[in-house]
Structure 1
Amino acid sequence: MIVITAPTGNIGRQVLTRLLAAGESVRVIARDPARLDAAVRDRAEVVQGSHGDARVVSRAFDGADAVFWLLPADRRAAGAEEAYVGFTRPAAEAMRATGVKRVVGVSTLGRGTPYAGRAGHVTASLAMDDLIASTGVAFRALCLPGFMENMLRQAGAIREQGAFFDVTAPDLPSPVVATRDIADVAARLLLDTSWSGQEEVPVLGPEDLSNDDMAAVVSEVLGTPVRYRRIPGQALRDRLTGAGFSDAMAQAMLDMMAAKDDGYDRGATRTLPNAVTGPTTFRQWCEDTLKPAVAAI
């Protein structure tokens, strides 16, 4: 039995699809089971509730061999530490109590860099990994750079303004990865019962790209000029708090972006023995995903 958290999210949904296609017995934790596809509700056991709730995770992990661990976004949290470590603490206790053998978690790059202790979401995510590892389970932390899918948040601006916006430097190459490739790696690990121990697994796309590089690719795929425009950190903070982020979570995002601008996510390379390079190029992702999204606006 494999437990999937966040099964209606972008990554969790894709992991769930792959496990069901492999004929695996699956249990999902869902706040709102109605958001699950009917086919999923027919084939997977559903535990309703939050995976930050001790009673819910105790029930869900009972008899489970493996867990896919992915945090929900909590823009209103009192701070990043609470959003990551505080939310995960009941699950860590349930892992110990129920005897879960293996955990595959979604995490971030950055451990061992000078920025790891002051990088907002990154710092909190790495502390979450340490908490899970302290339970003694076999653990694979999928350490990720930025997602290609983050560009979808700016599909409207791309369509209407011919631009996308961020606070990082325009010419800094950084790795990006498609969520489909993350889901492939997660599903393979969850289906493989042979591994043990604890390890970080960097999952990277096939290329490093700057924001200007991505703008050039988007322009070519869409057949219209698209520019990258850098904005001040305060503008991003105002946008986040206007969208309902707490001050602390907005600051955690700014701290992460500042570390990214300093190159924290370039510490992991594709030559590392445990690194996985996903096959999806940014151009292919733009053709498959971004172009239809922009056209649909």
Structure 2
Amino acid sequence: MYVITAPTSTIGRELVDDLLGRDVPLRLVVRDAERLAPQVRERAEIVEGSHGDPAVIDRACEGADAVFWLAPGDPAGSSALAAYVDFTRPACEAFVRHGVQRVVGISALGRGTPMAAQAGLVTASLAMDDLIGASGVPYRAVTCPSFMHNLLHQVRAMKEQGMFSLMSDPGLKTPVVAARDIAATSARLLLDDSWRGSGEVACLGPEDLTPIEMARTLSDVLGTEIGYRQTPGAALKERLTGFGTSEAMAQAMVDMFDAKNQGMDKAVPRTHESTTPTTFRQWCEEVLKPAIGA
């Protein structure tokens, strides 16, 4: 039995579809089962509730061979460590209690860099990895740079203003990765019973791009001029808190982008194994362009 947390997230949906295509027995932990597609509900066992709830995750892990772990990162959390590490503590106890054979989690690049100690959400993600690894369960952290799918939050700005904005340095080349590739790597690790111990597997995408280069690709694919504007950290924090994000979590987001702008995501050497296939242009054509046209 394979347990999938956060199955309605962007990565989780891709992973569930991948594993169902292989006829893998799935148990999905979801707050609201109605958010799952009907065909998914018909083919998977459902455990309703938060996977941060000790009773829920304990029930989900009973008889489980492997678990996919994705901490949702509560925007209203009291701190990044509470949102990632404290949220994960009950799961670590359940993994051990039920003899789960392996856990695959979604995390971030940055381990071993001087920036990682003050990188907000990344610092908390790496601490979460350490917590799971210390439990003794075999663990692989799928470590990722920025996600291509985060640009879906800016569809309206692109349509109405011809612009997207990030805190990223406009001239800094960094990797970006597609959710489908993160899911494919996660599926491979979940199904592979040969690995042991604790470690990381990076997903870097096939190319490093600056935001300016991304804007050029967006313009080309969408057939209209799309520009890039760098958002100052203070402005990003103000925007996030205006949407209801806690002060601590907003600052953790700003700290993460500060660390990325110092080159944190460039610290992992690109290898054949860490280079995933979906290009930014391909993602724009297959995912973003339809979203813009909807």
TM-score > 0.5 by shorter chain: yes
| TM-score, length of structure 1 as denominator length | 0.97
4+ residue runs over 3 A deviation: none
1:97 aligned onto 2:107: no
Q: What letter is aligned with 2:283? A: W
Provide, for residues 81-126 of structure 1, a one-character-per-residue CA deviation record: whole Å limited to 9, x for no partner: 0000010000001111111010000000000001111000000000
Q: What is the aligned partner in structure 2 of residue 290 from structure 1?
A: 288
Contact 2:77–2:249 (8 Å) recurs in 1 = yes
Q: What letter is aligned with 1:78? A: S
Distance 2:287 2:50 in 1: 30
Contact 1:203–1:278 (8 Å) recurs in 2 = yes
1:254 aligned onto 2:254: yes
* Residues 96-245 of structure 1: pairs in structure 2 closer than 5 A: 96-245=96-245
Indicate the SS of the match to 2:3. Answer: strand
Return the offset for 1:187.
0.8
Distance 1:83 1:140 in 2: 20
Distance 1:40 1:250 in 2: 34
Contact 1:75–1:245 (8 Å) recurs in 2 = yes
1:40 aligned onto 2:40: yes
Return the offset for 1:201.
0.4
Indicate the SS of the match to 2:114. Answer: coil
Contact 2:73–2:84 (8 Å) recurs in 1 = no
> Percentage identity across aligned positions?
57
Q: What is the aligned partner in structure 2 of residue 66 from structure 1?
A: 66
| TM-score, length of structure 2 as denominator length | 0.98
Contact 2:181–2:278 (8 Å) recurs in 1 = yes
Return the offset for 1:17.
1.1
Indicate the SS of the match to 1:115. Answer: helix
Provide, for residues 28-80 of structure 1, a one-character-per-residue CA deviation record: whole Å limited to 9, x for no partner: 11110111111111111111111001111111101101000001131000000
Return the offset for 1:19.
1.0
Q: What is the aligned partner in structure 1 of residue 76 from structure 2?
A: 76
Distance 1:4 1:179 in 2: 15
Distance 2:155 2:199 in 1: 36
Return the offset for 1:169.
1.0
Provide, for residues 209-264 of structure 1, a one-character-per-residue CA deviation record: whole Å limited to 9, x for no partner: 00001001101111111111112211111110011100000000000010011110
Provide, for residues 117-162 of structure 1, a one-character-per-residue CA deviation record: whole Å limited to 9, x for no partner: 1000000000000000011111110000000111111111111111
Q: What is the aligned partner in structure 2 of residue 15 from structure 1?
A: 15
Residue ranges of structure 2 left out of the alignment (5+ in a row): none
Indicate the SS of the match to 1:277. Answer: coil
Q: What letter is aligned with 1:170? A: P
Indicate the SS of the match to 2:75. Answer: coil
Equivalenced residues, count: 294
Distance 1:149 1:269 in 2: 23
Residue range with higher mean Cα deviation, 13-22 or 77-86: 13-22
Q: What letter is aligned with 1:277? A: T
Return the offset for 1:26.
0.8
